[in-house]
Chain A
Amino acid sequence: MTGHRRSVLLASPVVAVLLALSVAPLALVLLWSFWQWDPAIYWMRPAFVLDAYQSVVGTDRLIVIVRTARIALITAALALLLGYPVALFMDRFATARERTILMLLFLVPFFTSYIIRTFAWRLVLGRTGLINSFLVRAGLREEPLEWLLFSDFAVHVGLLASYLPFMIFPLLLAFGRIDRSLIEASEDLGGTFGQTLRHVILPLTAPGMFAGSLFVFVMALGSSVEVQFLGGAAASMIAIMIQDVIRVLNFPLAFAISTSVVLFLILLLIVGSRFLGLARLFASVAR
C-alpha cells in the first residue's frame, strides 16, 4: 500500500464524521432554504425559489436580526472590556495558585444548568431582588430600580455571565504565547507599563481578542434563554424567531434565516484570519 493510499484510508473516519455531522446538515439546510413553503398542505415542496429569503429581509424579521446582532455585538464588546483586564491580571500578575483559583471560579458556575444560572439573575435584579432590596434598605433609593430586570441591561448581564469565560480562555492562550523577554525588552528600552501594553501586548493578543469576541458573539447570536428570562415583553432574538417559525412548520424560512447567519459568520471568520492572524492563534493550539 502506498503512503498516499494509507493516509487516505487513515483519514477516512474523520472525513466520514465530518460529512455526516457537519457538511450534510449544512447542505440540507441550504437546499431546503430554497424550497417552497405551501400553506395549503402546511409543509414544504421541492422547488428553487427565493421566497424564504424575501421573508428574511421583510421588515419585522430584519429588525429582530439587526437587534440580535446588536445585542451580540455589545455583549462581545463588553466581554472584551471586562475579560481583557482579567486575563491580563491572570497572566501577568497572578501567581500560579491564584490563576488556578480564578480559572476554577470562572468554570464552577458552568457545573449548573444554564437555565438555573440565568433564572438566578431574576432573584438578583428583580424588583425585590438582592440589588434593589439593598438599595432601598440602605436608603439610597426610595423606589426599586425598574430597568434592572426585563430590560436590555438584564439581557446583557445574563449573556455576559454565561459567555465571559469564552472570552477569557482564548485571551489567556494569546497571553501565554507572548515571550516574557518581549515584555522585558520593551521595558528595557524605556517602555512604561502602559506603553508596553499598547505597543506590544495589545497587538500580540489581537488574535486572542478576535477569537474570544467571535466566540462570545456567535454564542450570544444564538442565545434565547437569556432574552426569554431576562428580556422585556417584546424582546426577541434570532433563535426565538427560528423557534416560532419552526412551530408553524415553515422550514424553508427557518433554514433561510440560519443560512444567512452562517454566511455572515463565515464572512467574519475570513476577515478575522485575513487581518488579525487568527490562524496563528490556533496554530498554537494545534502545536
Chain B
Amino acid sequence: MPVEVRVEHVTKVFGAITAVAGVTLEIQRGEFFTLLGPSGSGKTTLLRIIAGLEGPSSGRVFIGGIDATDLPPNRRPTSTVFQDLALFPHMSVGQNVEYGLRLRGVSPAARQARAQAMLRLTDLDGFYDRDPNTLSGGQRQRVALARALVVEPTVLLLDEPLTGLDEKLREQMQEELRNLQHKLGTTFVAVTHHQDGALSMSHRIAVLRDGHLEQVGGPVELYERPRTQFVASFVGAANLLRGTVESRDGHAVLLLGGEALRLPSPPPIAPGEPAVMVIRPERVRLGADSRARDNRVPVEVVSLVYKGAVLEYGLRLSQGQPLRAQVMGQDAGRDVRVGTRTEAGWDLRDTIVLPGGRGDGGG
C-alpha cells in the first residue's frame, strides 16, 4: 500500500522542552493508525505537526508524497477532530458541518445535501437545525467528525477522540470510528492514551514516550512482542521480573533472588547481563494449573480482587518481588486464598525477555 503520511526526523522544541525528538514514521493509505503514549509523550504535538497547526523545529512531513512541511493547515488535505471538538458555538449543527464546503464556495443546495448525507453517516439524522450547545458529548463528537469528514480529507486526524466520554460511550465510539474508517477508507490518525482503545481500533500503533518513538506495530505485535520494557508495561498490564542471565548445565537461566527461571534457547541476552522477563498476568497459572508449565515458582497470595469475569491475584515471590496473575473464574481452585502459599507457573512461549537496564524502566 502506498504511504499517505511520512514523518521524517521530526523534532519539535518548545523553549526548554523537547516535545518530539527525531521521530520518523510512515502511515499507509487507508490505515487506522494510532499514536499512543502517556501525557507529555509528544503524541498530540506530532498530530498537530501533521495537521500543520504547529511547525516542526526540524524534519519534514510528507502527505500524499508531497512535502507539506511548509504548507499552512488550510492548504493540507488533512482534517482534524479537535480534543475539545471546537464546534462553532454561533452556528447550527448543519452550519458547522457545512463550514468547510462553504469556504470552498460550494453552492448552498449542494453543501446542504452533502452535510445531510454526512450527518446520516454519523448517525445524526435530523440534527441539521439543532444548536450544538444543546447536544450530548457523544453527539457533539459525531458533529465534529461529520464536519471534518465532509470536506473529504485524505487524512483524518483525531486528537484524543476517546477522552471525555464515559466507558460505555468510549467503547461505542471506538466501534463507530472503526466502522466509519472501514466504510470510507480514509486514512485515520488518532492520538490517545487509552491503550485498550488503541488496541481495539487500530491497524497499527506507534508507542511514544518522552517524544521518542518506542515501537511501531500492529496490536498483536505490540502486545505479544513488545521490544522495550516501556511498551510491555504501557500496552496492557505486565509483570516485569528483573534478574541476571546465567548459564547452568548448558541452559540459560534468569537468576532472580533464589529462583532460576528457564529462558528460551538460544538465550536472547548474553550470560552475566541483566535481563527482564515479561509475563502478562493472564498467562500466569496458579495452583494445580501451574504444574506442567516451563517455569514454576513458589508464591504467597497477598491479595485477591474479584473482577467479574476474572480474579486478580496479587502474589509475592520468595524474595519479595510482586507478581500479578489474572485467572478466569475458578481456574485456580478453592485452596488459593489470601495468606496461603501456592505455586505460579507459565510457559516460555508466553514470555518475552528484554535487556534489563533500569534506565529503560518504564512501568
Contact = CB atoms under 8 A, between A and B. Distances in A.
B73 A188 contact: yes
- Interface of chain A, main secondary structure: helix
Nearest to A178: B89
A186 B53 contact: no
B103 A190 contact: yes
Interface stretch (B15-23, B77-85, B265-273, B288-296): B77-85
Interface in B46-98: 51-53, 72-74, 78-80, 82-84, 86, 88-90
A184 B151 CA distance: 16
Given A199-B99, A204-B89, A190 B104 contact: yes
Given A181-B82, A189-B103, A191-B103, A203 B147 contact: no
A203 B89 CA distance: 10
A203 B78 contact: no
Interface residues of B, number: 24
Nearest to A195: B103
A189 B151 contact: yes
A192 interface: yes
B90 A185 contact: no
Interface in B23-63: 51-53
B147 A189 contact: yes
Nearest to B157: A188
Nearest to A186: B99
B219 interface: no
Given A186-B88, A200-B88, 19 more contacts: A181-B82, A181-B84, A182-B86, A185-B80, A185-B86, A187-B53, A187-B73, A188-B51, A188-B52, A188-B74, A188-B79, A188-B80, A189-B100, A189-B147, A190-B100, A190-B151, A191-B74, A192-B74, A199-B99
Contacts of A38: none
Interface string B234-275: 000000000000000000000000000000000000000000
A173 to B, nearest CB: 16
Nearest to A181: B86
Interface of A: 179, 181-182, 184-192, 195, 199-200, 203-204
Contacts of B148: 188-189
Nearest to A185: B86
B8 to A, nearest CB: 22
Contact of A203 (B73, B82, B90, B103): B90
A181 B80 CA distance: 10
Contacts of B78: 188
Contacts of A203: 90
B53 A184 contact: yes
B82 A184 contact: yes
Contacts of B86: 179, 181-182, 184-185
Given A184-B53, A184-B73, A199-B99, A189 B88 contact: no
A203 B100 CA distance: 17
Contacts of B151: 189-190
A189 B79 contact: yes
A176 to B, nearest CB: 15
A192 B89 CA distance: 20
Contacts of A179: 84, 86
Contacts of B79: 188-189
A184 B148 CA distance: 12
A176 B139 CA distance: 27
Nearest to B150: A189
Contacts of A189: 74, 79, 99-100, 103, 147-148, 151
Nearest to A206: B90
Contacts of B80: 184-185, 188
16 contacts: A179-B86, A181-B83, A184-B82, A187-B74, A188-B51, A188-B52, A188-B74, A189-B100, A190-B100, A190-B103, A190-B151, A191-B103, A192-B103, A195-B103, A199-B102, A199-B103
Contacts of A195: 103
Nearest to B53: A184
Contacts of A188: 51-53, 73-74, 78-80, 148
A186 B102 CA distance: 11
Nearest to B80: A188
Contacts of B53: 184, 187-188
Contacts of A187: 53, 72-74
Contacts of B147: 185, 189
A119 B84 CA distance: 52
A182 B100 CA distance: 13
A129 B64 CA distance: 64
